[in-house]
Amino acid sequence: MSTTLTYPHRIAFSVEVAIALPHRATTEAAGGGEPSPIMEPHFPDRNDGDDLIELLFFAYRDFVADPDRILAEYGFGRAHHRVLHFVDRYPGLTIAELLDILRITKQSLNRVLKDLIEQGYIAQRTGTNDRRQRLLFCTDLGIRFAEELSRVQMRRVARALVDQPRRGANDDPGEALASAQGFLLAMIEPEERAVVTRLMARRAKAAA
């Protein structure tokens, strides 16, 4: 069986220019007299940066539109999805951890969490180490719902890696995956990157 990869849309705008400056220039080594400015990376052509900013907007717009359609059928919103997703993927998450992930207030979280608990998608258990904590878990119903929502987003992401226009010899979707993960991770606030990787490592560990 022969298969063909199709690249339906090639990028029309210029991508040839590179970032001129590294994150920090090591000018300190040169001499002692000059002040040591932190060199900011920048785009030689502003349009490149703007294109990326806009593409992120468009990508996210369509990325959330998929689950939104399903959520509407259930009478839930995006906020419910986010909670369900993280509880599904990180069983035993505490309220405090969830608040730090979502960056919302306790009151905002509680509203949607209460909906999900009352309707049987999420269950709470008192922490064993610390009985003040409420550990969050998905019920079977919750797992199935999370799965259904995940499916459409997974499909879009997988398709993106396949459809993604290829540059030169870099023709491997595994490369595309690593590349996309690297870029998105680097978009996260630097001090927060370790927090995110640690969170995700937790999942990898649980699977093993």
Partner DNA sequence: GAGATATGTCAACAACACTGACTTATCCGC
Partner DNA sequence: GCGGATAAGTCAGTGTTGTTGACATATCTC
By CB under 7 A, name the one of 36, 94, 139, 150 that touches DNA. 94
Q: Which 56-85 positions form the footprint of a second copy (CB under 8 A)? A: 56-63, 65, 82, 85
In the DSSP assignment, the letter for residue 45 is S
Question: Binding residues for DNA, how many (CB under 7 A)?
Answer: 31
Residue 201 interaction partner, one of a second copy, DNA, none, beta carbon < 5-8 Å per kind: a second copy
Contacting range for a second copy; rule: CB under 8 A; set: 91-99, 118-126, 137-145, 199-207: 199-207
Q: Which 116-145 positions form the footprint of DNA (CB under 7 A)? A: 124, 126, 129-134
Contact 101, 156 (CB under 8 A): no
Cα-to-chain-centroid distance, residue 48: 22
Contact 127, 110 (CB under 8 A): no
Question: Between 139 and 164, whose beta carbon lies closer to DNA?
Answer: 139
Using alpha carbons, select from 153, 84, 92 the residue that is nearest to residue 113: 84
Question: Binding residues for a second copy, how many (CB under 8 A)?
Answer: 99
Helix and strand numbers (H, E) in the chain are 7, 2
**Burial annotation 167-186 (CB, 10 A radius, 16+ → b, else e):** eeeeeeeeebeeeeeeeeee
In whole angstroms, the minimum distance from the beta carbon of 46 to DNA comes to: 25
106 binds DNA, rule: CB under 7 A: yes
Binding-residue pattern over the window 10 to 49 for a second copy, x denoting contact by CB under 8 A: -xxxxxxxxx-xxxxxxx-xx---------xxxx--xxxx
Question: Between 6 and 128, whose beta carbon lies closer to a second copy?
Answer: 6
Question: Between 96 and 201, whose beta carbon lies closer to a second copy?
Answer: 201
In the DSSP assignment, the letter for residue 75 is T
In the DSSP assignment, the letter for residue 13 is S
In whole angstroms, the minimum distance from the beta carbon of 101 to a second copy comes to: 8
Contacts of 41 (CB under 8 A, 6+ apart): 19, 20, 21, 22, 23
Q: How many CB atoms lie within 10 A of CB 21?
A: 10
79 binds DNA, rule: CB under 7 A: yes
Q: Which 94-133 positions form the footprint of a second copy (CB under 8 A)? A: 103
Give contact residues for DNA (rule: CB under 7 A).
75-80, 82, 94-96, 99, 102-108, 110-114, 124, 126, 129-134
